[in-house]
Amino acid sequence: MSVPPEAEAVLDEFATEIRSVADVVALQVGGSLASGDYRHGVSDYDLVALLERPLRDDQRRRLAQFHRGFIARRPAAAKLHCVYVPVDELDAVETPHVTWAAQMLFERPLTGIARAELLRFGFAVFGASPEALIPQVTAAELAEAVRRDLSGYWVPALRRPWIWLRDSYIDLSLFTLARAEVTLATNELITKREALSRLDRFHVPAELIEQIRQRREGHPVPISPLSRLRRATSVHGLVSDGLRVLLSY
């Protein structure tokens, strides 16, 4: 898999150093880096580190220190997310695992969506490939994972009005609708780039689609406070309607 040079430098350095921090036997790459949709400075690094054994408490502390230090040396690593999964727990889809994301350490599962993306697009930086270790995700399991994401994350998000003022939530929520529709209808996984061309299906105005496109390319899109408030109200309604339709599939 071809990785952009600016991302490859971060990935290679992380792969070299993480081995001494935890008992990592394989480092796998998913998300936009794997699907070919990566945008430097915009996209996240979505990684999965497979462990020989569960992390001890002292290793967790070292891991958090390592990530903070790595970001200090490599500012681009602020967008690096990594789930640490013991190999023996790969069959347990609901089990929460130590995760570094949003510059903090917490626990969450390696979801069915993330697993499916790894199996379809992912590759290994070192160690075994995703296909060699991760159990297959059936169409029914993937559809259920999508519904769980919509109902478990995005429906509650509708009750948090302040987040709809943020560009990141505007873009991600609409991308999620378009991608979820395709997966629920066809069992296919599409990129954010592909999702852009489907936003009109959810009645997203052309002007907003173009703004999302510009942000995806790393270009700033100025917006006045009043326009931001109006956009929040509009997109909140679009997402609410879209969720209602998708959860009826």
Which of these three, 86, 117, 136, is where a domain ends? 136
pLDDT of residue 1: 64
Residues in the chain: 249
Domain carrying residue 191: 140-247
Does one domain contain both 59 and 113? yes
Tokens 């008992």: give the residue: 23
* 222 exposure class (CB count in 10 Å sphere: 0-12, 13-18, 19+): exposed
The 10 Å Cβ neighbour count of residue 72 is 10
pLDDT of residue 2: 77
Rounded Cα distance, 182 and 30, in Å: 19
pLDDT, averaged in runs of 10, over the chain (249 residues): 87 95 96 95 97 96 98 96 97 96 96 98 97 97 98 98 97 99 98 98 98 96 98 99 97
Does one domain contain both 13 and 130? yes
For residues 118 and 31, the answer to whether their CB atoms sit within 8 Å is no
Does one domain contain both 36 and 125? yes
Which of these three, 76, 111, 136, is where a domain ends? 136
pLDDT of residue 226: 98
For the entire predicted model, the pTM comes to 0.94
pLDDT of residue 244: 98
Does one domain contain both 109 and 145? no
Side chain identity at residue 228, one-letter code: R
- Residue ranges of alpha helices (H) inside the chain are 5-18, 31-35, 57-73, 112-121, 130-133, 139-149, 155-157, 167-186, 192-196, 206-216, 225-246
Side chain identity at residue 230, one-letter code: R
- Distance from CA of residue 114 to its chain's centroid? 8
